[in-house]
Structure 1
C-alpha cells in the first residue's frame, strides 16, 4: 500500500501521461455462446447480456489507484547490460471524463511517471494487471517529454492477470524501425517480444496466450463421433497440400491420432479474436447461432410441420421476400423479438419469416434468366475472375489421359458458328472474341463420387462470343459425366445450344443451371475460401512471429489482417467442417475442402495480383502505353476495369511507403526480420509449395513492393469482390443454385415430359431444395453484411498515430483521397449507358469495388481485411 501511495502522490518531477482502456466487451462472443437456458441459446444470450452489462458497465472507477501498474523503458539509455533502463513502477490515477478523442466504451485515466532526465527518452513500457479479469488496453500517451515532446503508444491489446504470462507484457512507442536501425537499448526487448509470440511449439494453447504457430487442417472432421465424419488431413503432403492454419494444440482424436479433437471454443492468439468491438460480435454471434440453432429449427419446421420440402413455382421462391414463410408462433416468438435477428429475419406481424429481396431481382423478376445476364455475371458477378480467353479449339483438358481418358471437348465449329454473326471460329480466336468458362478439370475426377450421393452433376464447359456491342453471348454448353464402364474410357458428353422457345428453351435453362452450380461451388470453396481466407492466414502467423510491431512492414500489413484468423476459426467450426453449412448445402458435399486442396496445387502467389491474373487468363495483353501496363480485351469488364484502378492506388501507396524505409535493395537483403518472415512463410506457412520457383526471393525493393501489393489486394479488394455480392446475386437461389439433384432429362423419359409441361417444377426439383435454400440465404446474408465498425481501405483504426513518421502518414492520406476519386469515377462508369455490362438486364450497377460503404447489406465497400 505504501508503494501505491508513493506512486500516486509523491510526484516531484514527473512525466504526465494518459491511459485509455476498455473493460471486457459486454457482447463477448465466447460469453454469449456459452450460455444455455430453458429458453434456448437465444434467450440465454439475451439474459447474459443484461447480467454482463450490469456487472461491468460504469465500474471504471474500480481501476482507480489499484491493480494496474506501468514501468517505462528507455530507448536511449541502457542499464549497463545493453538493455534499456527500466523506470519505477507507477499506477493509474484519476478518471478523465472529458477527453474528446475517447471512443465507445473507452475510459481514460491520468498517470504520472518518475523519470529522471538521465533516463533519456522512453521507447517502451511494461504493464502488470493484478486483477482477476482482463481489459483491453487502447493506448498510452506521454506529454511534454523533455527534449522530445509527445510520445504515443498505440496498444490495442488484451491484458490478462500478470500470473498468466511467462514474460512481461511490453508495448512499444509508435516509432518505426527496420531491425538495423533499432535504438540499441530496445534491441533486446524487440527480440524477446518476438520470441514470446513464437512460443515453443508445444502444449495446448490457452485463451490468454498470444502465441502464433502453424498447423495443418486436421480439425475438420469428428471421427470419434461417427466414421462418416472423418475427413482427410489437408496440408503436409503433396497429394493434399494446403496453406497452414493457426495451431491450437488440442488433443488428438482416439480413432485418428493425426486428427485434432473439436470443441466450440477454438484458440486464437488473444488479439486476433473478436470481443474488442461490439458489431463484430453481433455478426459472428448471428452466424454461429444461426448455424447451430436457428437453421435446424427452420429445417424441422419446413419439413415436418409445414410438410413443404420443395418449391413448386418460381413464385414460391419470390414469396421468401414478398410474403414470407408462415411459421408456427412458438418458433417465430424465439426468433423475431431478438434484436440480433430483427434484420436477419423480418416478421410482418402475420407470423411470417421474410428475407430482404436480393438486388438481382429488385428491378426485374425474370431478367436473371436471359443469356446476356448469365454471361455478364462471369465478368461482373460474384465470381468474376474465372473466365478465360479461348486460344485453342476444341478446348483440351490437362487431366491424365491414362487415368481419365480423352477429355478433349466435343464442342464443334458447327455448334458455334451459326450464332457468331458470320464470324468463323478461326477468325474469332484470331481477334480475341472467343472465351470459355471452364469448370471441367477440377470437378471431373470427383464426379463419380459426388454422383453416388443424392446429388447429380456434370463437369461443364461454356463457350462465349464477344459481340460488337461489348457484351458476351453464350454459344454452347458441354455437360460431361464419367463413362459407365470406367474413367479410362473418358467422359460421356453432350452439347447444348441456346434456344428461346419450347422444351429446348427449358433444356437450355437447365444447362445454364448446371454451369452456375459448378461456378457457385468453385466460387465458395476456391475463389472465396481458399484464395482469400485460407491463403492469407499463414502471412498473419509469419508476420507476428518474425516482424516486430515496430517494423515498417508489420505496420503496413496490420490493418489487412484484422479479424481474419477469427473468422477462419469460426468457418472451421460451423461452415467448412464435416457436415457443416457448406458440405450440407453445396454440390461438392463431403469432398468440398478436399477438392479445394487439389486446386491449391496450382496456386501461384505471384499470379494473385490483378494484372497478372488478367494476363494469365488471356483477357488482357501487355500494353506499355496503358497506365496499368496492360489492356483489357473485353473493354467493358467491370471487375477488371474497376479493379485496375484500385490495384494501381494500392501499389502506388505501397511503393511510396517501402521506398521511404528502404533506401536500397541491400537494405531489403540485410533486414533480418524480413528475411526470417519470408523464409518461414514460404517454407512453413505455404510449405507444401515451398519448392515452387515462382516465389519472390525477397532481395529487392521491387519484390517487396509486389509482394505487399498482392497481399493487400487479396485481403481487401479481391475478398470484397467475391464476398459482398453473395446475397445480392445468390440470395435468389434460382440465379445462383448451389446443388443439382437430377440429371438432364432425356427424350422419352417421364422427366422430359414433365419438363415440357412444367419447366419451373423440373427446374426447382433439379436445383437446391427448399431447406438448403433457407440455410444458404440465412448464412450468406450474414456474410454479405458490413459491420458498423468496419475499417475500409484507406482507413486505420489508429488514426494518424500508427507511426510517428510524417511522410508515410501524408502518403496514406493521399491514398485515401485517391480512393475517393476512384469511387466517383466508378459511379460515372455506371451511369454510362454505352457500357452495357455495368448494369445488365437486371439493372444492377456493379458497385462491389466502390471503396466506401455504410453498414449492412450494401453491395459495395472494400474493407481492409477479410473480417467476415
Structure 2
C-alpha cells in the first residue's frame, strides 16, 4: 500500500493532459471547505492528505480556454498547466467546524490560452472538499473573472470524468464558444448517468423513479403501500432515483433504509449544508419519538392519559408534560438513546416536551373558538388556498353518480337564510357573497375505508360562509356526510349543523367546526403542502439538472429555487410519508394518505398553479382588465390573495425582464435545443402520467417561457411559504387545527351525548387528536415551521457574482426593491384596523408572505414570516 501511495504521490499521471508552455502568471483565490475539518475524524484520510500536499499533489486546477481549441483534443478548449492550491496545511490549522478558507493559486498563462472559460479540478486528497468560488485577477483581455461553483468535489478516483466548472458567463446552446461546447454537452451527459445501478454518495446523477419506496411489504400487508406513478389508477410526479435494489418480497417496490438512517441518496450538492443540517437535526429530535414508538409507547401509556381539560393542553406550552416520578424517567433512559431526548427536557429534568406558545393563543386563549376566526383562517391561516365562491345552491358534487350515487348537498334555504343578515340565497349569490370550504368530493371516495380500516371516525364536510359588509366571513352551516353506497339514490348520509353559542347546540356546533377543521388540516398537509409544492416541483429540479447546462440562462434563473428540495423530499419519504410514518400517524386518512394524494393529482393542472388562474378558478376573483394582473378580488380583504398577487406580479416582472434579455424573439425559444429537451422531458417523464393533458404550455413563445418560469418560482417560493411557515402559529395549538377525529357526533340518549352536555371540553378532547398524536404532530410542525439560520429569501442570491451579465443583475436589483416595497405595504395593511382579516380576533398579523428581504439577522426560528427562495424544509 505504501508503495502505491509513493507511486501516486511522486509519479506522473499518464492521463494528465498536455500543458501549454509557461507564460505570465495569473493570480487566483479559491474559497472552499474540506469535509475532514467539518465532520470527519478519519485520521488516515487526514494523514494521507497531508502527505499528498507535501509533494504538491493535493488539489489542482487547470484552466480551459474559451477562445482557442485544441485540434488534437476534439476541438475542446486548450488546457493550461495544472496549478495547485498554496499553503494548504498552514491554512487548515485554526479551522473550526463551520469555517471556510481562501487559498491562493497561481496559474501559468500563455497567449495561446486566451480568456479562460472553465477549469478542471482534481482532488487527490482522500476526503471530499466543498468548492464555493474561484476568482482570477488580471486575466489578459478580461480583467477579473469569477467562477461560482458551490459543489462538493470527491477524490478524483471516484470519477470516470473530469470535474469541470464554468465561469459565470451565460450562453444559450447556440452561442456557446466552440472550445466549451463539448465540455458543456459532456457535463450534462455525466449528470444524466446511464440509468442503471445503485447510486453512491459521490455520484452526481439526476434521474427519475416512481414512488415505490413508501411501503415495507416484507413486514406484512399492513405495511405495504401501492406504487404511486406509472399507472392510470395511481398517477404521480416522479421522484429522484436512488437505484436501491427491489424489496425482497415485492419486486415492484424499492427496498428501504433503516428508519433512523438519513444517508439517503440524492446528488451530493442537493443535500443540506452543515449549518442547515445542524439546525434540522436539533429540531427534528422532537419528532424522533415516532420511529421509537415500539420502545417507548408503554411508558407513554403509563404516564400520559387523555387530555381531560383545555388547561391540560395549555400545559404543553406553559409547563410541559410532567413525568410522575423518577422511575419512569429512568426507564425512558433505558429504552431509548438518551442523546435524542436530552434536548427535550428542561435542565431540571422534571418536564418533558415543553413547546413554544403558538401565536394563535399568545394574546387570547379562547379567541380561536369564535366563528369569525374560524372563517378568517380560510383567508389568512395556514390553508388559504381552498375556499371558493358558491355559484349554485345547493352545492353539487362532481363525483361520478354511476360510481358514487347522488352526492349533492343536503343544504336547504331553511338551514341558512335566517342567519344571512336579511339577504336571500339568490341575492347573496348574485352579489358574490356566498362562499364554501368544500372537502366533500375529495374525501367521499375513501371515507368508508378510512372509517372502517383505521381508528379514525370522521365525515366529509362542506362549510358555507357569508361575506359580510365589514369583509369578514360568517359561517352559516356545516354539512357532515357519510357514504351510503348501498342506496344509489341517496348515497350520502348527511347532517347539517348551524351556529349556536350556548347549551348542547353550542357544543355540537363546536364539534362540527372541529370536524371541518380536521378535513381541512388533512387536505392542507397532504395536498396544499406536500403534493402541490414538494412533490410537483421535484421533477422540475431533475429535468433542469439533466437538460439545462449551468451556462444556460434558465438554469441560472431557476436554480436558486430548487435549493434543498430533493433532500427534504427524500427525508420525507424516509420518515414522514412512508407506511406508518409520522404523517400517517397524525392525519385522518392514515394508511390511505398518500394514495389519496395520487387520486387528487389526477386533476392537477400546471397552468392553474399560477396565482391569478387559481383565484379565477375558485371564483374568488373575476376578470377585470383595469386591475393589476387583470382581475378583481371579490373578497377585498383576502390577505393571502392581496399579498400574493403583489409578489406574483413582482416575480413575473422580474422573469419577463430576464427572459426577454436572452430571448429576443419567439424563434430563439423554439430553436433552443436544451430548453426544448428540458420541457419535453419534464412533461413526458417528470410528470409523465399527465403528459397528454392539453393544458401544458407548448414552449413555442416567450410568453410560454415567462409564464412557465413564473409559476415554478411562485410555487417553490411564495406558495410554499404560505402553506408551510404558518403551521406552528395556527396548528401548534391542536384544538384550533385538529388532524384526527376519533368518534362521530353523539346521538341523543347515548352516554357520549350526556358527556357532551355535562363536560363539553372533555367530549371535544375525546373526539379529536389523542394526546400522543398531539405531541407527535406538534413536534413535526415545529420543525417544519422553522426558518433555517442560513435561509436565502426571495430577492436574495447567495453571491452577487451569480452572472456576469449586467442587465439581468440590474433587473434583479429592481426585483429586490419591489419586494422591499411590498414588505412596507404589508406592514401598513396589517396596521389598518379597517382590514379585520389581517389580524383577526387572535391578533396574529398576516406575515406569511412578508418577503423578509431586509432582515439580515439570519436568526431563523419560528418567525412566522419570510418567503425563502425554495422549498427548503
Deviates more, 1:468-477 or 1:624-633: 624-633
Tell me by how many angstroms 1:300 deviates: 2.8
* CA distance in 1 between partners of 2:322 and 2:34 (Å): 42
Tell me by how many angstroms 1:294 deviates: 8.0
Q: Does 1:304 align with 2:301?
A: yes
* CA distance in 2 between partners of 1:358 and 1:62 (Å): 54
Query: What SS does the corresponding residue of 2:252 show, helix, strand or coil?
Result: coil
In 2 relative to 1, CA 183–631 (structure 1 residues): closer, same or farther, beyond 3 Å?
A: same
Q: Which runs of 5+ in 2 are unaligned?
A: 1-8
Tell me by how many angstroms 1:280 deviates: 3.2
* CA distance in 2 between partners of 1:863 and 1:415 (Å): 44
* CA distance in 1 between partners of 2:497 and 2:438 (Å): 15
* 8 A contact 2:296–2:335 mirrored in 1: no
In 2 relative to 1, CA 103–558 (structure 1 residues): closer, same or farther, beyond 3 Å?
A: farther
* CA distance in 1 between partners of 2:344 and 2:847 (Å): 22
- Corresponding residue for residue 269 of structure 1: 267
Query: What SS does the corresponding residue of 2:205 show, helix, strand or coil?
Result: coil
Q: CA RMSD in A?
A: 2.7
Q: Does 1:241 align with 2:235?
A: yes
In 2 relative to 1, CA 25–796 (structure 1 residues): closer, same or farther, beyond 3 Å?
A: farther
Q: Does 1:19 align with 2:16?
A: no
Q: Does 1:561 align with 2:562?
A: yes
* CA distance in 2 between partners of 1:55 and 1:506 (Å): 67
* CA distance in 2 between partners of 1:55 and 1:365 (Å): 57
Q: Does 1:370 align with 2:370?
A: yes
Tell me by how many angstroms 1:351 deviates: 3.4
Q: Does 1:74 align with 2:60?
A: no
The ranges of structure 1 where at least 4 consecutive aligned residues each deviate by more than 4 angstroms after the TM superposition are 1-8, 25-28, 51-57, 59-64, 95-98, 292-295, 331-349, 486-489
- Corresponding residue for residue 808 of structure 1: 808
Deviation digits for residues 332-383 of structure 1 (CA, Å, limit 9, x no counterpart): 8899999998886655664343111100000000111000000000000000
TM-score normalised to structure 2 length: 0.92
Query: What SS does the corresponding residue of 1:503 show, helix, strand or coil?
Result: helix
In 2 relative to 1, CA 93–770 (structure 1 residues): closer, same or farther, beyond 3 Å?
A: same
Deviates more, 1:357-366 or 1:117-126: 117-126
Aligned match for 1:187, one of 174, 181, 185 = 181
In 2 relative to 1, CA 534–472 (structure 1 residues): closer, same or farther, beyond 3 Å?
A: same
Instruction: Count residues with an aligned counterpart.
Output: 839
- Corresponding residue for residue 4 of structure 2: none
Tell me by how many angstroms 1:53 deviates: 12
Tell me by how many angstroms 1:111 deviates: 1.0
Q: Does 1:84 align with 2:77?
A: yes
* CA distance in 2 between partners of 1:367 and 1:548 (Å): 53
* 8 A contact 1:73–1:84 mirrored in 2: yes
- Corresponding residue for residue 744 of structure 2: 743
- Corresponding residue for residue 144 of structure 2: 150
Instruction: Trace 1:394-405 onto structure 2 (pairs within 5 A).
Output: 394-405=394-405
Tell me by how many angstroms 1:676 deviates: 0.2
Tell me by how many angstroms 1:309 deviates: 2.5
* CA distance in 2 between partners of 1:54 and 1:231 (Å): 44
In 2 relative to 1, CA 288–343 (structure 1 residues): closer, same or farther, beyond 3 Å?
A: closer
TM-score normalised to structure 1 length: 0.92
* 8 A contact 1:26–1:56 mirrored in 2: no
Query: What SS does the corresponding residue of 2:685 show, helix, strand or coil?
Result: helix
* CA distance in 1 between partners of 2:477 and 2:218 (Å): 47
* CA distance in 2 between partners of 1:565 and 1:85 (Å): 36
In 2 relative to 1, CA 500–372 (structure 1 residues): closer, same or farther, beyond 3 Å?
A: same
* CA distance in 2 between partners of 1:787 and 1:293 (Å): 23
* CA distance in 2 between partners of 1:209 and 1:489 (Å): 57
In 2 relative to 1, CA 25–218 (structure 1 residues): closer, same or farther, beyond 3 Å?
A: farther
- Corresponding residue for residue 856 of structure 1: 861
* CA distance in 1 between partners of 2:44 and 2:738 (Å): 46
* CA distance in 2 between partners of 1:293 and 1:519 (Å): 23
* 8 A contact 1:137–1:158 mirrored in 2: yes
* CA distance in 1 between partners of 2:640 and 2:348 (Å): 37
Deviation digits for residues 554-593 of structure 1 (CA, Å, limit 9, x no counterpart): 0000110000000000000000000000001110100000
- Corresponding residue for residue 780 of structure 1: 781
Query: What SS does the corresponding residue of 2:441 show, helix, strand or coil?
Result: coil
- Corresponding residue for residue 483 of structure 2: 482
In 2 relative to 1, CA 83–287 (structure 1 residues): closer, same or farther, beyond 3 Å?
A: same
Tell me by how many angstroms 1:158 deviates: 0.7
- Corresponding residue for residue 43 of structure 1: none
Tell me by how many angstroms 1:286 deviates: 3.9
Tell me by how many angstroms 1:27 deviates: 6.7
In 2 relative to 1, CA 481–299 (structure 1 residues): closer, same or farther, beyond 3 Å?
A: farther
Instruction: Trace 1:645-656 onto structure 2 (pairs within 5 A).
Output: 645-656=646-657
- Corresponding residue for residue 278 of structure 2: 281
Query: What SS does the corresponding residue of 2:570 show, helix, strand or coil?
Result: helix
* CA distance in 1 between partners of 2:489 and 2:130 (Å): 61
* CA distance in 2 between partners of 1:781 and 1:600 (Å): 27
In 2 relative to 1, CA 84–341 (structure 1 residues): closer, same or farther, beyond 3 Å?
A: farther
* 8 A contact 2:290–2:582 mirrored in 1: no
In 2 relative to 1, CA 289–206 (structure 1 residues): closer, same or farther, beyond 3 Å?
A: farther
* CA distance in 1 between partners of 2:865 and 2:337 (Å): 29
Query: What SS does the corresponding residue of 1:454 show, helix, strand or coil?
Result: coil
* CA distance in 2 between partners of 1:639 and 1:673 (Å): 36
In 2 relative to 1, CA 60–131 (structure 1 residues): closer, same or farther, beyond 3 Å?
A: closer
Instruction: Trace 1:743-762 onto structure 2 (pairs within 5 A).
Output: 743-762=744-763
- Corresponding residue for residue 501 of structure 1: 502
Instruction: Trace 1:539-554 onto structure 2 (pairs within 5 A).
Output: 539-554=540-555
In 2 relative to 1, CA 60–177 (structure 1 residues): closer, same or farther, beyond 3 Å?
A: farther
In 2 relative to 1, CA 11–365 (structure 1 residues): closer, same or farther, beyond 3 Å?
A: same
Tell me by how many angstroms 1:818 deviates: 1.3
* CA distance in 1 between partners of 2:294 and 2:43 (Å): 29
Tell me by how many angstroms 1:295 deviates: 6.3
- Corresponding residue for residue 600 of structure 1: 601
Tell me by how many angstroms 1:795 deviates: 0.9
- Corresponding residue for residue 830 of structure 1: 830
* 8 A contact 2:229–2:689 mirrored in 1: yes
Tell me by how many angstroms 1:270 deviates: 1.2
* CA distance in 2 between partners of 1:72 and 1:813 (Å): 32
In 2 relative to 1, CA 396–700 (structure 1 residues): closer, same or farther, beyond 3 Å?
A: same
